[in-house]
Amino acid sequence: MSETAEAPKEKKKKGKTEKKKEKGAYTLYKIEKDKIVRQRPICERCGPGYFMADHGDRYACGHCGFTRYKHA
């Protein structure tokens, strides 16, 4: 009896496809017609120039730690 030697099947390695987060000031603003609209709220304690981070269910300031929860 003869055995046929089959080559082992090579598995293709899937490279990790990671989404790169967009960085920069252009992600914080949106232009509508002739006006500039802020995408995220400004911190109530720190004032203009300090945007709050969006964490899904809440907004948080990275400078002072103020947290504002979104309405359910």
For the chain, what are the domain ranges? 26-69
Exposure string (b/e) for 33-58, b if CB count within 10 Å is 16 or more? eeeeeeeeeebeeeeeebbbeeeeee
Type and span of the H or E element at 4:
none
| Cα–Cα distance for residue pair 35/41, rounded to 1 Å | 16
Tokens 């907004």 -> residue: 59
Pick the more confident residue, 23 or 54. 54
pLDDT in tens, 8-45: 677 666 777 787 877 888 888 899 999 999 999 999 99
Look at residue 34 in the predicted model and tell me its pLDDT: 93
